[in-house]
Amino acid sequence: MDKNHLVPKPLRRCRSASPLPPRSPLLSQDQQVLIKRSWHRVPHSSVGNSIYTHMIARCPDMRSMFGGDNSSADRHMRHFLGLLQCAVDNLNDMEKALQPWVDLLGKGHGGFSIRSKHWDAFGEAIVTAVSEWIAPGKSHKDTVKAWMLLSSFLSDRLSAASRIAANCPMSTPRIQLITLMASAPPPPIRFEC
């Protein structure tokens, strides 16, 4: 028997071993401008309520998740506004600036029976609410598409993080969320099981 068959052969480089090209940003410069312009037209005093209303209309079983009292719903309406403001402020670097915060939010919601359909309803409600104030015109369709990309990013990240947390729950999700809401978006934090 030949002993050479046991000697490892050198790896042959192929295309799949080449370094990956840098990822293009989720939103183009034009889409970022469209979102920022339309965000200035949105009445910040009522956007949270509009998102909540559209979210409950899409998924009525979510009403019970807010505990039946108005203070929880009101608090979440303010958080919706804060999340969108943070997203709009960080459109140019969502993966580094926004994703860690959104992941922490999603993980903080991991113990509350929130499913993907609820996060999807949240994302759709964002687009519907913001679309109410986007001016009609030639860029209307492009603006709605840009908001769809942003809301999909948010709802997908929140959903993925809450699924991870459901399998690896934090010991105190409410304390994590309260701490998060009391401060600015945290630096990148990774919670791994």
Give the whole-angstrom CA distance, residue 50 versus residue 78. 11
State yes or no: pLDDT of 173 exceeds 80.
no
CATH number of the domain to which 42 belongs: 1.10.490.10
Asked if residue 115 belongs to a domain, the reply is yes
Mean pLDDT calculated for residue range 141-156? 95
- As for how many domains the chain has, the answer is 1
Domain assignment present for 124: yes
| Pick from 132, 127, 129: nearest CA to 152 | 127
pLDDT tens for 8-54 read 666 666 665 566 566 667 899 999 999 999 999 999 999 999 999 99
d(CA 33, CA 27): 10
Which residues 6+ apart lie within 8 Å of 100 measured at CB?
185, 186, 187, 188, 189, 190
Look at residue 152 and tell me if it is in a domain: yes
For 54-96, how does the pLDDT look when each residue is reduced to its tens digit (9 = 90+)?
A: 999 999 988 888 877 788 889 999 999 999 999 999 999 888 8
In a domain, 20, yes or no: no
Considering only residues 174 and 154, tell me which one the structure prediction assigns the higher pLDDT.
154
Q: Does residue 17 sit within a domain?
A: no
pTM of the model: 0.75
Within a domain: 102: yes
pLDDT at 36: 96
**137 CB neighbour count, 10 Å cutoff:** 9
Determine, yes or no, domain membership for 10: no
Segments forming the whole domain that contains residue 132 = 27-182
Phi, psi of 12 (to 5 degrees): -95, 125
Q: Can you give the pLDDT at residue 174?
A: 55
Percent of the chain with pLDDT over 90: 42
Q: Which of 69-73, 101-105, 152-156 has the lowest mean pLDDT?
A: 69-73
Domain annotation covers residue 34: yes
